[in-house]
Amino acid sequence: MTESSRWYRQPVAWLFLILLSVTVLACIGLIILAIKSDDGLVADDYYKRGNEIGMEIGRDKQAAALGLSAQLFVADDGLSVRALLLPLPASPQAVVLRLAHPTRAGLDVVLTLQPEAGGMLVAKLEQPLHKQRWLVQLEAASVGSQASPWRLRHEAELGPGATLALKAQPSPAG
């Protein structure tokens, strides 16, 4: 065997090995990325969740029947949220505000807004609310195991200093 015929002296062999190594490293990197960044878009219990969504449609209809609307105000520092529910309820009650991130469930925020003088509902956040797109849901606080009787929902960009008007709209599915 001559010196020039050995495989490790051929440039084509090294090119092939380099491409193979880059491909293997890229695959390992993508597998690690996929494991670390599970987006959770598909729920394991999607059928059960679909049935629950069907039952929740009645809450949208109830809000429309009551003629409910709300104004949502995020403080300039992003650390508190105020809401004004119209028409003002006869007896002040706690209201739950859910801010759901469209793709990352780990970023979801659930706040219980407590009544304050003047009909405002207020809650403090643990961390500032960063400006991004949210699925906003305002609903009466559940009593025991009973679901809340109404909800207002909207998709909007919220962040420090933002305001949002929520109006009752019956679901298109019902």
Q: What is the pLDDT of residues 146-169, one digit of tens each?
A: 556 888 989 989 889 999 999 887
Please tell me the distance from the alpha carbon of residue 156 to that of residue 73, in angstroms, as a whole number.
13
- Strand arrangement, sheet containing 80-86: 151-158, 132-140, 95-100, 109-115, 120-124, 80-86, 69-74, 163-167
Bridge partners, 109 (sequence order): 99
- For residue 118, pLDDT beyond 80: no
Say if CB 159 and CB 65 are below 8 A apart: no
pLDDT of residue 64: 84
- For residue 174, pLDDT beyond 50: no
Which position has the higher pLDDT, 12 or 62? 12
Tokens of 77: 């520092």
Please tell me the distance from the alpha carbon of residue 140 to that of residue 112, in angstroms, as a whole number.
10
Say if CB 83 and CB 95 are below 8 A apart: yes
Closest CA to 152 of 52, 76, 105, 83: 83
pLDDT of residue 90: 66
pLDDT of residue 147: 55
**170 — pLDDT class (breaks 50, 70, 90):** low
Per-residue model confidence as pLDDT tens digits over 101-114:
888 878 888 999 88
Say if CB 129 and CB 99 are below 8 A apart: yes
Please tell me the distance from the alpha carbon of residue 31 to that of residue 128, in angstroms, as a whole number.
33
- For residue 18, pLDDT beyond 70: yes
Q: For residue 162, give the DSSP letter.
A: -
Closest CA to 107 of 130, 124, 77: 130
Per-residue model confidence as pLDDT tens digits over 43-99:
677 677 777 666 677 788 888 888 889 999 999 998 999 998 888 766 667 789 999
Can you tell me which residue has the tokens 């849901």? 137
pLDDT of residue 39: 65
**19 — pLDDT class (breaks 50, 70, 90):** very high
At the topology level of CATH, where does 46-167 sit? Answer: Immunoglobulin-like (2.60.40)
Which position has the higher pLDDT, 26 or 10? 26
pLDDT of residue 40: 62
Q: Is the pTM of this model over 0.85?
A: no
Please tell me the distance from the alpha carbon of residue 24 to that of residue 37, in angstroms, as a whole number.
20
Say if CB 148 and CB 38 are below 8 A apart: no
